[in-house]
Structure 1
Amino acid sequence: MKRINIKYIIAFILIVAVLLVFFYYVFQTLTGKEKNFLQFFAINLVPCVFIASVDFIIVHTIYKYLKTSNIYFHVALNLFISSLFSLLVIFLGNFIFLGFSAFEINPEIIKSTIFILLWNSIIVLLIEIFFYNQRQIVAKDKIAIMEKEKIQYQYEMLKAQINPHFLFNSLNVLSSLAYEDAEKANLFAKKMSGVYRYLLLTNERPTVTLKEELAFLDSYIFLEKIRFENNLLITLSNHINTNKNVIPVSLQLLIENAIKHNITTSNQPLNVHVEITEEGITVSNNLQLRNTIDSSGVGLKNLQRQYALHKKTIAIIKTDTQFIVKMPFLD
């Protein structure tokens, strides 16, 4: 649970204590035991604050160490433990003031004990309401953070979609092909058009089928292999049918991440392998990092956050020679 501001705790305990002293005074008045209010208040405020504080500590400790979503069990356990504490306080108090005669059956002591137990139960229930309110605030904060991260991911994905470097490089390749091979230039332009069409069509979709993603990936790989030629080797092994769901552009992001962070030359070709099984998708590449690239991993972090919204986890494994990302399918 989110750490609670100490000022709120103190204010809450004081308010509860003051209210209970007031109610206790009303009870005493209604039963014909009128007393001076200020004197009564001064005498009973400190014990009320003490009991309310201990009850708060009991409830907080149970919530901290007992992880269960059963609210009824929590309330029952809190009432039971706090009642035992109250009985102990009553016994010690009576023993201090009455000595061994406290063990004798006394109707007044029994009435006071019953009242204090009820009074203590009210404290616990008020504390439970306080913690319930805190949990609601935390839940709303988490939802707000998740929505913010989702918006951030969508923004990052949008920036990737209109990445000027990708567009610039693609147009340069297209310009060169126009003079060298008109047929290949025409095919390159169609594939490039298909890539951007997919990006636009899936911009508002939270998931796509693996079949759609692989069709898009085929166009993207074509563009990159024309650009890097034999310096980039991408292989794909698909062992399942394509009736699965993934996040749009996720496979492209993983391949682009490998290209961005690794050397891709004739002397050091980059090998990227995409393997699709029933368990999920694994994208691996040989590790030959560039020295001039920022390796903050923002793209991967955003993809991890997006999968977290679906209660899924992306595994990242880095060895001396390999960089591996394991991505699950979505339900």
Structure 2
Amino acid sequence: MDQLKKVKVNTLLIFIFSTLIYALCQLLFSIILMKEDLWTNFHIQLSAHYIVILAMCIADYGLLLLLNKYTRNILYRIIAGLTGLTIICLVLLGAFNFMIYNVFNVSSVGMPSFLVKFAFAMTTNIPILLAFELIYYFRSEQKAIADSEKAKREALLFQHETLRAQINPHFLFNSLNVLSSLIYVNPENANKFTKALSKTYRYVLSLNQQPLVLVKDEVEALHFYMFLMKMRFENCFTFLLEKTQLADKHRIIPLTLQLLIENVFKHNIATEDSPLVIKVIIGKDLLVVQNNIQPSNDIDKAGIGLKYLTRQYALYGRDVVVEDNGQLFTVKIPYIEL
């Protein structure tokens, strides 16, 4: 906290010093341009110029916030920036002219025209906005680099945690139980189950140091995982997959689909009388996982679930949307474009 307060104080001091120097430079420039006496009411002139510069800084900062909120296009930013600067200069000039001529009753004789003042104000104001733009650009670059490194670290942690979750005793115990029963009842399905289990683990192990994967790879791995679930739950659920071909080349967090499906089984009851209906939609803009709600009383709170996925996507500036209307539970996953 003390360090943060120190940084804020230093930033404020730098801002005050910078604006004071800039005001002094503008004062000297205006005195040379207007051919006035440098030492006549120097402190009053410097104070007036500093107030103008300070007002411009505040207005330009507000303009920068608006530009950042509504547009990232360079051409639009230039047009909107120049328009904003024009409005700011006109408003400030009008306000200061009113103060000088109407409030303080200073004579306008010998004073420069409004057009000259406006041109001078624009040449003064443009560098201020450019300085703010440069500061914003460099800070954005630094933040992007820091976020990228954080995302890589979090992605590696995610892979380790996911791998540990997939090979936990419960998962192995359930899989081996199903396999042992199939060996005697249906050897052919036992063989298929073994291959699907092997491919599921092989996919998990292949994710080492991969922060993102293609949707088509996730869907392919999901088929093996759903086969395991089908052998385990048999006719207790229905799985539907709708896929847009164009979505195959989009990227998502590894094991997103598997974790969401696992979340469905973990939090719901699946029986032949009340089967779960799980629907996965691989759309053009979003990946959607939806299921009917049949709450389970015995919910395993451990493991990786929706909250962790939400955190992972937030690292890339994407929001995971969760909708629960009491009958359907829907999770909408955004694609991550590099």
TM bucket normalised to smaller: 0.7 to 0.9
Cα displacement (A) at 1:149: 4.0
Cα displacement (A) at 1:137: 0.8
Match of 1:261 among 253, 264, 267: 267
CA–CA separation in structure 1 for the residues paired with 2:77 and 2:125: 17
Between the aligned residues of both structures, percent identity stands at: 27
Structure with greater Cα Rg: 1
Match of 1:227 among 210, 228, 232: 232
Distance 1:14 1:284, change over 3 A: same
Distance 1:244 1:75, change over 3 A: closer
CA–CA separation in structure 1 for the residues paired with 2:158 and 2:39: 69
Cα displacement (A) at 1:256: 1.2
Q: State the AA in 2 paired with 1:235.
A: F
TM norm structure 1: 0.73
The aligned length equals 315
Match of 2:93 among 86, 91, 95: 86
Residue of structure 1 equivalent to 2:128:
126
Residue of structure 1 equivalent to 2:222:
217
Structure 2 unaligned segments of length 5 or more: list them. 1-6
Q: Do the aligned partners of 2:238 and 2:275 also contact (CA within 8 Å) in 1?
A: no
Residue of structure 2 equivalent to 1:45:
46
Cα displacement (A) at 1:156: 2.2
Cα displacement (A) at 1:121: 2.9
CA-based RMSD of the aligned residues comes to: 4.2
Q: Do the aligned partners of 2:278 and 2:291 also contact (CA within 8 Å) in 1?
A: yes
Cα displacement (A) at 1:192: 0.9
Cα displacement (A) at 1:263: 2.2
Q: Do the aligned partners of 1:18 and 1:45 also contact (CA within 8 Å) in 2?
A: no
Secondary structure of the corresponding residue to residue 260 of structure 1: helix
Q: Do the aligned partners of 2:247 and 2:283 also contact (CA within 8 Å) in 1?
A: no
Residue of structure 1 equivalent to 2:27:
24
Structure 1 unaligned segments of length 5 or more: list them. none
Q: Do the aligned partners of 2:276 and 2:291 also contact (CA within 8 Å) in 1?
A: yes
Does residue 240 of structure 2 align to residue 236 of structure 1? Answer: yes
Does residue 307 of structure 2 align to residue 298 of structure 1? Answer: yes
Q: Do the aligned partners of 1:244 and 1:330 also contact (CA within 8 Å) in 2?
A: no
Alignment of 1:311-322 (within 5 A): 315-322=321-328
CA–CA separation in structure 1 for the residues paired with 2:243 and 2:19: 64
Does residue 74 of structure 2 align to residue 71 of structure 1? Answer: no
Residue of structure 2 equivalent to 1:325:
331
CA–CA separation in structure 2 for the residues paired with 1:326 and 1:72: 36
Distance 1:110 1:244, change over 3 A: same
TM norm structure 2: 0.71
Secondary structure of the corresponding residue to residue 126 of structure 1: helix
Match of 1:199 among 199, 204, 222: 204
Q: Do the aligned partners of 2:269 and 2:276 also contact (CA within 8 Å) in 1?
A: yes
Residue of structure 2 equivalent to 1:60:
61
Secondary structure of the corresponding residue to residue 228 of structure 2: helix
Q: State the AA in 2 paired with 1:195.
A: T
CA–CA separation in structure 2 for the residues paired with 1:97 and 1:324: 66
Q: Do the aligned partners of 1:304 and 1:314 also contact (CA within 8 Å) in 2?
A: yes
Distance 1:182 1:220, change over 3 A: same
Structure 1 residues 159-204: Cα deviation after superposition (integer angstroms, max 9, x where no partner): 2233214234324433555566555443322211111122233442
Secondary structure of the corresponding residue to residue 110 of structure 1: coil
Structure 1 residues 225-253: Cα deviation after superposition (integer angstroms, max 9, x where no partner): 222333x3232345765872353433322
